[in-house]
Structure 1
Amino acid sequence: MSDSQATSKNDVIIDNFATETLSSSIKALNAQVALVNGVFPTSALKISFKTNTLRSGISIKPQSPWQIENLVNYAFKFDVKNTGNNPVMLTADVTGANGQTQRRSIGLDVGETAKAYFDLAGFGLDADFGMRDLPPSFKSDERKMIVRGGKKTIDFSQVFSVKLYTETQINANEVVVDNLRIASTGEPNTEFLTKIVDKFGQRADIDFPLKVKSESELRKIAAKELKELSEMQPWPERSQFGGWKQGPKLAATGYFRTEKVGDKWAMVDPEGYLYFSTGIANARMSNTSTFTGIDYKDDSVRYIDPNDVTPEDSQGIGGDYREAQKTHYVSNATRRNMFEWLPDYDSDLAEHYGYRRKSHRGPIKHGEVYSFYQANLERRYGESSPRSYLEKWREVTLDRMQHWGFTSFGNWTDPMFYDNTQVPYFANGWIIGDFKKVSSGADFWGAMPDPFDPEFVRRAKVTTKVIAEEIKNSPWCVGVFIDNEMSWGGEGKPISRYGIVIDALSRNAQDSPTKAEFVRLLKNKYKSITQLSDTWQRDITSWQALADGVNYKKQQDYNQNMLADFSWLLEAYADEYFRVVKNAIKTYMPNHMYMGARFTSWNTSPEARWAAKKHVDVMSYNYYREGLDELTWGFLKDLDMPTIIGEFHFGSDDTGNPHPGIILASSQQGRAAMYKNYMATVIDNPTLVGAHWFQYIDSPITGRAHDGENYNVGFVTTTDIPYPPLVEAAQEVNRNLYQRRFGQ
């Protein structure tokens, strides 16, 4: 038996594929499976994944659950090799007691072999440290699988099933797996989170090629890049706005617009050239800060102006906290001990402290934050005048975008770029305020607005007016995104798809403008309450009873007539939301395109997109997969609207971020390869008019203050050093962009 297959007497063997035939407990899920030799020392299982399916892989479910005895800290483990022709993200589901399932994933480069493990029981697994995932708590040459969909507290003393699969593959691929087992992970290091961040915001306990060792080294790297940027040449086929100067020239309006050219949708730049938006989102300081584990007793720092139009996670870094800092205390010792260094309050780098008045999720609800990234900018460029390093950062970032071949910034561009005349950008805003809300039942980022509330209408105007004042009617503004990843309701059970309607129906019409509108619509459609009651097969005694509230949240026997009305009401709700926002944008920014609210693929009902079609200039989606597949995106043909991808990314754990990101690669080279594959599916889709990578800067290792994201998804590190493989991949894609999209 090989070292990789060595087992202890306490290990639980799931399958080592030692027999000539597959176990009856293994079921193929839209995949082909076969026993093979020659990959691992003994027989192993090859899984050939299919495209055009949501999931492809295997399921293993024994007749009775695997009992985990005599193991204290343990994991699901297996050996795996990517024998396909593309990088692959392999996901595992492990189901424990009460039918609860945890998901984890691993990214594998072409030809890569790994020993993977999926934590089931161990030190710190159930604790919330304000990070999406953690570094390993023990030393091992095995690869840790990364949490997907959030950590759960699950009893894995019994394991009922295991699945291994890929999701919506765009290219046929395959892996070989062997030695599936549940085995010990050894003795944990209870101090595994102590002093893991150095003074540059990097992982202190590991090395990687771009790691900076000193301030002089950081300045030397910066000087070299500045010289390269000063020598860059313009892209000859591009117009001043990044359009295709060598292509056909259409009507010029002085602003960006859309037009269908042949069978392909396109944007058109202010000079009339065909334009395709490739870019990077979130080029700003707002999400570079992390909680320090310190809070202030001074309550004044937590005051939030009810008239503010900027959400907490979009607030900048810095401010005068000198008085509040006198009241500082340790609010979370674990987080405080994660840092090797934080500056004294009277030191030069103390201006990079800030304060978050509230967080979206995590153990810290509010507290002091620090931006290592912003501090590193001061180290790189110095400070000849107050915050001059930010002006230098702005200049360098603009030059990088052009040098890397991007035609725009993406969403959440810092307003400091709004007056630039080098790189087009997208403006952004959120409609926040004290207006009524409804719930879809899956409100990850928060409850949904009530668009029939006059206060929502007013706040929409307030937000868009502020954006208009910031962009000053600039032709360099491509369009405006408002809100993001809202919970419109997804496919599946009625309570999932029509949660907004079902929730509104449960409310009193006196307190809910949406409910009042639904009652009005139903009264207009049905001649009497008896007709409505009979059609829905529900005992509704009067219109007043309907107005007072009918709660169907726990019911499942919705008839087709009822579901048809739910669909109609949901579209009416969505239509009002997009109508209100469109009217506000066109009132204050008539020359700029409305880019929608950046739908998700998993939480956007068809009713929402059909309502949006009536009002937006460009549909927008955030889509985190290896690329655009026909199964998920076939609806675009019927929708026939110009559409843009607002977010996608690929991350790795080889530079120290404990969580690579939503879609995983195994290395920086893997990120680059996956970027090119993804962009090819976007450029080749006749409906798509652009795609924006999320995000410009790596997340803090200890998690961004808003929600703990600690992803390696930047084009640049926390020390503001570009990742060469990713930059080269972007330049390759952008060099051939227009010829591939519009050439013959």
Structure 2
Amino acid sequence: MIRRSLPVAFALLLTTPLFAAPAQPQTLFNFVRPLDAVQVATEQANLPQLTAEPTADGEVLRRVVFNAAERPTLTLTPQSGDWDWSQTEAMSLRIQNAMDWAITLDVSITSRDGKSLTSRIALPAGPAQTLLVPLAATSPLAQGMRAGPPMPITVAGQRVLLAETVAGELSAAQVSSVSLSLANPDSPQSILLGRFGVQPLAAVQQAAYSGIIDAWGQYNRGQWPEKVSSDQQLREAAVREQAQLKTWLQPKTEQDSYGGWLNGPRFEAKGFFRTEKQGERWYLVSPEGHPFYSLGVNAVSAWQSRTYVEGREGMFSALPKEGEELAIYYGKSNSRSATGANRGRVFDQGRWFDFYRANLQRSYAQPCPAVVPPLAASPAPVEQDVTPCPPPGLDAARWTAHSLDRLQAWGFNTLGNWSDDTLGAAKRMPYTVPLSISGDYATISTGLDWWGGMPDPFDPRFAMAAERAIAIASRDRRDDPWLLGFFADNELAWAAPGAEPKARYALAYSTLRLTTDVPAKRAFLKQLRDKYRNHNGLSKAWGIQLGAWELMEDPGFEAPLPSAEHPQIEVDLQSFQRLLADTYFKTIADSLKWHAPNHLLLGGRFAITTPEAIAACAQYCDVVSFNFYTREPQHGYDFAVLRALDKPLLISEFHFGSRDRGPFWGGVSEVYKEEERGPAYAHFLDKALQEPSIVGVHWFQYLDQPASGRLLDGENGHLGLLGITDRPWQGFVEAVRKVNLQVPGKVLKSTQQPAATQP
């Protein structure tokens, strides 16, 4: 690729080169009047006109065209020396998208020592704005949340596009270049540019987050059809919803007590949920012996919508004052942890507020009845039939009944992971229980450790912790026919992100780097010693020079990468990871068979995983479960491999979010707008029904997350069936209900198998 420099006119030098940037805003170069000491170069990009052009708003800017190529780039460099930006906070660039659609622009700022900061900018169509890129790594986690508010914003009458996520490192006193690029545009894309320079950042950052959350926990600056602006709106919407639920909650005569299909094949009724295969299709079987396809919702809870306010009170425009009625929804917590999910986050402890429960009170609290004074002529006091006013707060019984009404009206039949216990106790809908195993056992880091390190199942303390967790979870549920089953923890670190061997075999490599007081390392060394007998056998198999067996016992031992010349390396890594997975799942399965022998073990809710972990799960669990954040299940894993397991599969998490209903994050699987969520749900469910091994899908989650971030890790996604105001997303739930109600017909039509023999 040929690098083109612009005409000399674009690189005229000032009498004194710019080597230091003051704290105030400063322009270093202007694309409209290119007389500054900056050189502009392009690769697969060009400035097609020698003069600038007026925009629709009357501003004059210069056009740059990025050609259809792998990475068209425009680069700015000092004419001589470097820029010293150590006394300022952000790079600034006046910019406008010249297309009618959004463009994704990559910005890179590099220093002389090779360090660089990178940021990916969503450049919207519309008027010009000033792009600001901080000169230090940052993200919205610095404000306590997963994603920041929509950009651009207006500051002092000017549109500003703040790059909120910047990665990398920079030596700000030696900045050598700034580049703008696009990744693989399929046709030429144009932007318009003006002044380039540096400026302070603090005032803009403060303006970006000031007062962005309103009294109901909604994003203050956005508008959408369901947005609430008064408590009266909440109450009126609640009344309308009740009328709709009465219409939708018709008796389902074609279902048994647990939601099994009466018009499907008959199985033996064993009084508890179980699995059975008929023909090519796996089924969950209800306690009464009918096929059951689990349509679940995770986190159906009134207690998971708190958000930290301490230290960032200015983010909230109308928090209750002390002594006010809604002040009972304040509390204190500490969510600090060393997990990957919480790494780099600020505002993770202290005082919180619960907007969701406050909105429940606004919507459903009954006013106290008036006390009627006795008539003056009465000869004696008249006893008043007055019901005492209940204390303010959540009416748990009302919330439980209402939530179950909603789920059943919307076509769901299962309470997914992390749902409130009161819902399962109501005996209206089958429920699941998480086995959250914690203790002081050893762990193994695979790198990311999103929810923490991988438990060391060879550690006797892990078996004790599992026994304790299972005993507690199964207490009072051992003989409950409404219990669908137990999940074995959630999204454990079975591997590291990526496809390279160090990621694929991260558990094995990490284990060998540990000290021999870690039980997993002792188990791995024993496995190798039993196979090779001595260090010479291992040296030959692995193609290494190992002078003594004891050298492997040293901390930091690095195993070689798999190779065609030495296939035993990969065989041994796989063998250990299978042993570890077998030990983990067998420990849990054995304990569960003792404490709750009638109930299903629903697998490990895999996110990042390995073939060894999946095979072990299939051996010891009744169901293999996956959290798939993909357009369809088949994109989440190789289903040819999963079909070969001949095991029922459950999609224990999936969702589709967007950013146009308040919360700033679109979730792990994002669509462009709210209206696309329903079709995305329908497509995912339809593709799941086409896989005869899939016995259910569970949506994550019931409620939107707080726009300002949940306590656990700052996630703030629009993922829910309803918002923080407790108002359902009407178009979405209507679409969900429609396809949910079609499931029995689609599954039974696809099988057309002869009925099983009646026992």
User: Scaled by the length of structure 2, what TM-score is found?
Assistant: 0.76
Give the counterpart of 2:354 among 371, 385, 390.
Answer: 371
Going from structure 1 to structure 2, the CA distance change for 1:708 and 1:15 (only over 3 Å counts) comes to farther
Superposition deviation, residue 557 in structure 1: 7.5
Give the counterpart of 2:659 among 650, 653, 659.
Answer: 653
Going from structure 1 to structure 2, the CA distance change for 1:119 and 1:59 (only over 3 Å counts) comes to farther
Q: Secondary structure at the match of 1:370?
A: strand
Q: Secondary structure at the match of 1:471?
A: coil
What corresponds to 2:239 in structure 1?
223
Cα deviation, 1:521-546, whole Å, max 9, x if unaligned, reads 11211122221122222333333333
Cα deviation, 1:287-331, whole Å, max 9, x if unaligned, reads 3111112xxxxxxxxxxxxxxxxxxxxxxxxxxxxxxxxxxxxxx
What corresponds to 1:593 in structure 2?
600
- Using the TM superposition, name which of 659-668 and 123-132 deviates more: 123-132
Going from structure 1 to structure 2, the CA distance change for 1:185 and 1:694 (only over 3 Å counts) comes to farther
1:359/1:705 contact within 8 Å kept: no
Structure 1 distance, partners of 2:716, 2:546, is 50
Superposition deviation, residue 224 in structure 1: 2.1
Cα deviation, 1:583-623, whole Å, max 9, x if unaligned, reads 222221211111122111xx212121112111111111111
Structure 2 distance, partners of 1:261, 1:96, is 60
Q: Which amino acid aligns with 1:379?
A: R
Structure 1 distance, partners of 2:160, 2:435, is 40
Give the counterpart of 1:72 among 82, 92, 95.
Answer: 92
What corresponds to 2:153 in structure 1?
139
Going from structure 1 to structure 2, the CA distance change for 1:525 and 1:17 (only over 3 Å counts) comes to same
What corresponds to 1:382 in structure 2?
365
Query: Does residue 507 of structure 1 match 2:514?
Result: yes
What corresponds to 2:647 in structure 1?
641
Cα deviation, 1:65-120, whole Å, max 9, x if unaligned, reads 565999614679574669xxxxxxx977666645776567799xxxxx98999977
What corresponds to 1:126 in structure 2?
138
Give the counterpart of 1:617 among 617, 622, 626.
Answer: 622
The aligned length equals 639
- Using the TM superposition, name which of 571-580 and 531-540 deviates more: 531-540
What does 1:660-675 align with in structure 2 at a 5 Å threshold?
660-675=666-681
Superposition deviation, residue 626 in structure 1: 1.7
Going from structure 1 to structure 2, the CA distance change for 1:74 and 1:116 (only over 3 Å counts) comes to closer
Give the counterpart of 2:269 among 228, 239, 252.
Answer: 252
Query: Does residue 715 of structure 1 match 2:736?
Result: no
What is the RMSD computed on CA atoms of the aligned residues? Answer: 3.8
Q: Which amino acid aligns with 1:121?
A: V
Structure 2 distance, partners of 1:288, 1:480, is 24
Q: Secondary structure at the match of 1:566?
A: helix
Structure 2 distance, partners of 1:104, 1:663, is 19
1:625/1:648 contact within 8 Å kept: yes
Cα deviation, 1:322-369, whole Å, max 9, x if unaligned, reads xxxxxxxxxx2xx21101122234332223222222234211342111
1:114/1:143 contact within 8 Å kept: no
- Using the TM superposition, name which of 673-682 and 344-353 deviates more: 344-353
Give the counterpart of 1:261 among 259, 275, 278.
Answer: 278
Q: Secondary structure at the match of 2:731?
A: helix
Structure number with higher relative contact order (C-alpha < 8 Å, ≥ 6 residues apart)? 1
1:415/1:470 contact within 8 Å kept: no
What corresponds to 2:568 in structure 1?
561
Structure 2: state its 5+ residue gaps: 1-30, 35-39, 49-62, 84-90, 367-388, 751-759
Cα deviation, 1:262-303, whole Å, max 9, x if unaligned, reads 21222111112111111211112343111112xxxxxxxxxx
Superposition deviation, residue 217 in structure 1: 1.9
1:218/1:380 contact within 8 Å kept: yes
Query: Does residue 277 of structure 1 match 2:294?
Result: yes
What corresponds to 2:611 in structure 1?
606
Q: Which amino acid aligns with 2:315?
A: M
2:106/2:121 contact within 8 Å kept: yes
What corresponds to 1:493 in structure 2?
500
What does 1:326-475 align with in structure 2 at a 5 Å threshold?
332=311, 335-360=312-337, 361=342, 362-382=345-365, 385=390, 387-469=393-475, 471-475=477-481
Structure 1: state its 5+ residue gaps: 1-6, 20-41, 48-57, 83-89, 108-112, 166-174, 294-331
Superposition deviation, residue 145 in structure 1: 11
What corresponds to 2:210 in structure 1?
194
What corresponds to 1:235 in structure 2?
252
Superposition deviation, residue 411 in structure 1: 1.5
Query: Does residue 483 of structure 1 match 2:489?
Result: yes
Structure 1 distance, partners of 2:473, 2:631, is 33
What does 1:72-221 align with in structure 2 at a 5 Å threshold?
72-73=92-93, 79=99, 97=110, 121=133, 126=138, 128-136=142-150, 138-139=152-153, 152-153=167-168, 157-159=177-179, 162-163=182-183, 178-179=189-190, 188=204, 190-221=206-237
Q: Secondary structure at the match of 1:599?
A: coil
Q: Secondary structure at the match of 1:582?
A: helix
Structure 1 distance, partners of 2:189, 2:285, is 53
Going from structure 1 to structure 2, the CA distance change for 1:45 and 1:161 (only over 3 Å counts) comes to closer
Cα deviation, 1:547-583, whole Å, max 9, x if unaligned, reads 3445217978794322221111111111111111112
Q: Which amino acid aligns with 1:250?
A: F
What corresponds to 2:3 in structure 1?
none
Structure 2 distance, partners of 1:469, 1:222, is 37
Q: Which amino acid aligns with 1:739?
A: G
1:701/1:710 contact within 8 Å kept: yes
What corresponds to 1:50 in structure 2?
none
Superposition deviation, residue 459 in structure 1: 0.7
Cα deviation, 1:420-458, whole Å, max 9, x if unaligned, reads 222112111311111111111221221111111111111
Going from structure 1 to structure 2, the CA distance change for 1:244 and 1:125 (only over 3 Å counts) comes to farther
Structure 1 distance, partners of 2:193, 2:691, is 43
Query: Does residue 701 of structure 1 match 2:707?
Result: yes
Superposition deviation, residue 711 in structure 1: 0.7
Structure 1 distance, partners of 2:130, 2:259, is 45
Structure 2 distance, partners of 1:442, 1:132, is 16
Structure 2 distance, partners of 1:442, 1:712, is 25
Structure 1 distance, partners of 2:550, 2:658, is 57
Q: Secondary structure at the match of 1:629?
A: helix
Q: Which amino acid aligns with 2:642?
A: L
- Using the TM superposition, name which of 636-645 and 479-488 deviates more: 636-645
Cα deviation, 1:28-48, whole Å, max 9, x if unaligned, reads xxxxxxxxxxxxxx999999x
Q: Secondary structure at the match of 1:250?
A: coil
2:44/2:66 contact within 8 Å kept: no
Q: Which amino acid aligns with 2:179?
A: V
- Using the TM superposition, name which of 260-269 and 397-406 deviates more: 260-269
1:202/1:701 contact within 8 Å kept: yes
What corresponds to 1:38 in structure 2?
none
1:594/1:618 contact within 8 Å kept: yes
Going from structure 1 to structure 2, the CA distance change for 1:236 and 1:14 (only over 3 Å counts) comes to farther
2:509/2:558 contact within 8 Å kept: yes
State the structure with more CA Rg.
2
Q: Which amino acid aligns with 1:152?
A: A
Q: Which amino acid aligns with 1:582?
A: A
Cα deviation, 1:131-176, whole Å, max 9, x if unaligned, reads 11211454389998998xx7624669533753259xxxxxxxxx97
